[in-house]
């Protein structure tokens, strides 16, 4: 395994512009272009193309176009996941979404972050790489449980886990993990009630 790729998946600081990573992103772009070329009315064809794009898909799923994906192979979906239009998956680490979870339009799943200290964000210049400088990234996985509802425009940040059956309100920014069966809203997201209080 490429050492920089290993560091990325391990949540260690790594060069986000590494040639190996850029090649994986280019492969994802090719697979996504194949998916985008299939009519939205050809559900069976789109499901097949999604299986080629995603790292794992346990059953039929739907992502309504347009959407953005970085690697694709780090997306792991259960069965019957529905993602509405405009989703962004910055999947430099695993984004796992459980079965029967619904995601509203323009939601963002962001696994990548950078060091807080400005001195740590750039590595030394390297002239023989596709990008002649080194941006230091840190990637942390995102896990969404089964039967969740992620509202329109919600942003799920690196390292977050959301428990089964939880509802994330529209526009919420989830910076910390949430337990099962709660409703969370706001920026940063805070729990306001149980789903059973509805």
Q: Which residues are catalytic?
A: 114
Percent helix, strand, coil in the chain, to 5, is 20, 30, 50
Peptide linkage before 188 cis (omega within 30 of 0): yes
| DSSP state letters, 162-189 | E-TT-EE-TT-EE-S-B-TTEEEETTTT
Report the Cα–Cα distance between both ends of the chain, in Å, rounded.
48
Residue 191 pairs with which residues in a beta bridge?
184
Peptide bond into 66 cis (omega under 30): yes
């Amino acid at each position: 395994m490429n050492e920089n790729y290993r560091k990325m998946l391990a949540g260690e600081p790594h060069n986000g512009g590494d040639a190996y990573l850029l090649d994986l992103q280019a492969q994802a772009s090719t697979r996504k272009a194949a998916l985008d070329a299939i009519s939205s009315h050809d559900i069976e064809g789109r499901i097949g193309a999604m299986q080629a794009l995603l790292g794992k898909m346990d059953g039929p799923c739907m992502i309504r176009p347009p959407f953005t994906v970085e690697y694709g192979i780090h997306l792991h979906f259960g069965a019957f996941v529905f993602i509405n239009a405009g989703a962004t998956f910055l999947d430099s680490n695993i984004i796992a979404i459980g079965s029967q979870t619904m995601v509203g339009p323009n939601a963002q799943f962001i696994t990548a972050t950078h060091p807080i200290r400005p001195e740590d964000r750039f590595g030394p210049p390297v002239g023989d790489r596709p990008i002649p400088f080194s941006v230091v990234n840190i990637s942390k996985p995102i896990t969404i449980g089964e039967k969740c509802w992620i509202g329109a425009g919600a942003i799920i940040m690196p390292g977050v886990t959301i428990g089964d059956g939880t509802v994330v309100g529209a526009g919420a920014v989830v910076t910390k993990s949430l337990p099962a069966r709660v409703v969370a809203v706001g920026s940063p997201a805070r729990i306001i009630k149980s789903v059973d209080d509805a």
